Amino acid sequence: MQHGQYTKKVLDYFKNPKHAGDVKNASGVGQVGNPVCGDMMKISIAVKDDRISDIRFKTFGCVAAIGSTEALCRIAKGKKLADAKKITSKDIAKELGGLPGIKMHCSVLGADGLKKAIDDYEKKQRGKKTRK
């Protein structure tokens, strides 16, 4: 790996994230953090026809944390919820062309944040059904 153990893709996603920000009127939001390293991630999703139609992130963290969250967004956008739930830290690291071992926890956080956002969306949907 080049550049202090980061691939060119990690650095590109860090410098030029296309999914930074919040989804307006988000269908679901997931927040995760790692108190040890200080990384914090907020993932917001829009769901249409059981697919992730939009996904955005706000990440406070290192190069690997921001790059991992951008990679997650690129993988998840357009996926059915059932498939998006199956995205793992290995999928994120693979999209990035690898991560240094000491930074793998960043990709785990991203996958966990997406699962929390989907859970939030599903809870809201169940709430709507019980209110009818």
Q: Which sequence positions are flagged as catalytic?
A: 37, 106
Helix, strand or coil for residue 34? Answer: strand
What are the residues facing 42 on neighbouring strands? 31, 58
- Quote the crossing angle between the two packed helices 8-15 and 63-76, to the nearest 10°: 90
Residue 3 has φ and ψ, to the nearest 5°, of 50, 70
Name the one residue in this structure whose structure tokens are 């999209």: 95
Contacts of 24 (CB under 8 A, 6+ apart): none
How far is the C-alpha of 67 from the C-alpha of 35, rounded, in Å? 19
